[in-house]
Chains A and B, each alone.
Chain A
């Protein structure tokens, strides 16, 4: 699969370096249009929109609208799509996008049936494409490109990678990081659904060998075992860069869905304790509060201490 940074910013010398085209599916909906404008004002190069039946019109008198993804891709050459269609239309929109040659599909909607996510993922795999989400705030490289719904203010360009299941916690923690002088090279919204197009381990593989990244912050929450898998992968393969985690939902009752479809503890599967103990085993400290994340990261940076080597237990104050 193509390097994520190449997809998001291209290579120096390319005509579209740092201004890669993005197509918005569902551009004329209330949600899609609001966030298209926000993306554009951030500097994202939105080159086309797709709304069936509105082909030939222009969004805000500037961005051409097409009836289908294949027309939009053919006309613009863009390989990134941001999907803002209602959940029940997601699978159709995703298939159309992947069929048209989209390499990175950012799935914003919440409430997509799991089966539809799995079908879209199956197709993405066959097409060698990536899906971020669903139920994600999106992906961004601060200062360069924002594909999604994040407010711009918490983020500053820098050298930290932030991977997060939650949207608002991504903002809150990035804000705290930015204030502490830790800007972000990339932030990836994993999403709050049970099945994620890009899992924590996939997002980690995207950034692990990037020289411009100095550290990583993982924002997890109860449900599933993707945090445990990441901790295991880091223990197995090592990762020399300072890493800090935060896990939401320590006090959540069992067997109740806490807002996100994926945020549910079933028996011991998905519990906060399980995630925290695995991170500690991987020498990754887990903050007790969002505000503690930059403090722990600074400590790790000072010690030049990476994750992966079992031994000292981390943990909050």
Chain B
């Protein structure tokens, strides 16, 4: 999961990385109290699990209560890349002499952790030419290594020490929480030569959640996502009108791509996992029925060992119980497909031999209605 900035900073604080004084809130009432505690001026920052918030106006300064009263609701109501504000962070402002960049990330193809550091911070790291990259095995960074990295980005003396200290702490945090990414951008140097984390990005490995009950409070899941997880499904909600269901992540992604190529708009990505049973498909339909804006369902099941009649049974039950009342376009490959087609003959489910056929029908069906 990707933590929000204020959550990442809670971890930074716990590991002794210096921060500015700040408070997060979810309502202006709560934030008014924080404003009093912090004192003006301060910045307000939208908390969303995506990047690019600065450009979208999600970071504003407030010099007095009037500005605060106007800007807090503005920031709170922004939607950035489809993501609504989870909270707003109020934070003191700092005098900055220089901005640096530092991160530790899991290098997937090298299969080790890697430090990226740069003397140019505050911009996207992809656009920075002078980067120091250092592979560090399982992620433990020694003080010697950290000092070398500090030297490579042009720091010396007290600043090198301060930077190395932060890097060692960041690596301890990364290793102990099993993160895929821990990033501080920018890492600011103040006129008094102290080093402060101005922003924080932290991505954990969901598969290690069972070892980290302390991170559970950051887990953010809709009721639908929670139910999906319980059934062993993967579900991503989107804002289109055709729900896409299949077994296997690759197959569902592929169906998704072909649907988009044909002008269809996916409402969700739902992978029901390896096998498909009447119960699992019925549960998938239940989840879809709760997603807003779904007008039809596109099903692509690769039934290696799946009986298609078992899947057809789920559709029939869903119509019978009134769970769904929308067209389903399905490609089911597997055994007993003639019988499955016969079962569904009088229902709103159409069966196709090719996924292309099902996709065309789904896109056309959407245009008709």
Contacts and interface: CB of A to CB of B under 8 A. Distances in A.
B50 A255 contact: yes
A88 B211 CA distance: 10
Contacts, number: 153
Contacts of B109: 199, 224-226, 229
Interface in A231-263: 246, 248-263
A87 B232 CA distance: 14
Interface string A163-175: 0111111111000
B230 interface: no
B257 A251 contact: yes
A77 B236 CA distance: 46
Contact of B208 (A115, A153, A260, A266): A115
B101 interface: no
The interface residues of chain B, by DSSP majority, are classed as mixed
Nearest to A267: B126
B281 to A, nearest CB: 15
B260 to A, nearest CB: 4
B261 A168 contact: no
Contacts of A88: 210
Nearest to B250: A166
Contacts of A250: 257, 260
Nearest to B234: A259
A260 to B, nearest CB: 4
Contacts of B205: 113-115, 194, 261
Contact of B108 (A153, A226, A251): A226
Contact of A121 (B111, B252, B253, B269): B111
A300 to B, nearest CB: 21
B249 A192 contact: yes
B122 interface: no
Interface residues of B, number: 50
Nearest to A194: B108
A171 B111 contact: no
A174 B40 CA distance: 64
A4 B205 CA distance: 31
B207 A261 contact: yes
A113 B49 CA distance: 22
26 contacts: A113-B205, A114-B178, A114-B180, A122-B138, A166-B251, A167-B250, A170-B250, A172-B254, A195-B111, A229-B109, A248-B250, A248-B257, A251-B256, A251-B259, A252-B253, A257-B234, A258-B236, A258-B249, A260-B250, A261-B205, A261-B206, A263-B253, A267-B126, A268-B126, A289-B258, A291-B356
Q: Which 4 A-B pairs have the closest CB atoms?
A: A166-B250, A259-B249, A151-B304, A168-B248
Given A149-B274, A195-B108, 8 more contacts: A114-B205, A119-B138, A122-B138, A168-B250, A169-B251, A252-B269, A258-B236, A260-B249
